[in-house]
Amino acid sequence: MFGIAKRGDNNRLLLDKLPDVLDASQKDNKIKNLLQALKQEGLIAPEGKSWRMSKRQ
């Protein structure tokens, strides 16, 4: 029902959508911050080296 994605999958999905004004390091930090924000909202949960979509409680 809900998907699992590794960090590399998230990077491939998001890197080209971030502004070109950011360098590679800034883009990596942005993706890390987005994942952490989604985790704090309860929308995703870490599962080993992957992230799993989770139901909001």
Residue ranges of the domains in the chain?
Answer: 4-53
Which three-class secondary structure state does DSSP give residue 25? helix
pLDDT of residue 3: 81
Taking 50 as the threshold, does the pLDDT of residue 1 lie above it?
Answer: no
CA distances from 16 to 2, 19, 31, 40, 42 (A): 24, 8, 12, 24, 25
Tell me: the pLDDT tens digits for 3-41?
888 888 888 889 999 999 999 999 999 999 999 999 999
Between these two residues, 3 and 2, which has the higher pLDDT value? Answer: 3
Task: Read off the pLDDT of residues 38-57 as tens digits, 9 standing for 90 and up.
Answer: 999 999 999 888 998 887 65
Contact indicator for 44, 7 with CB cutoff of 8 Å:
no
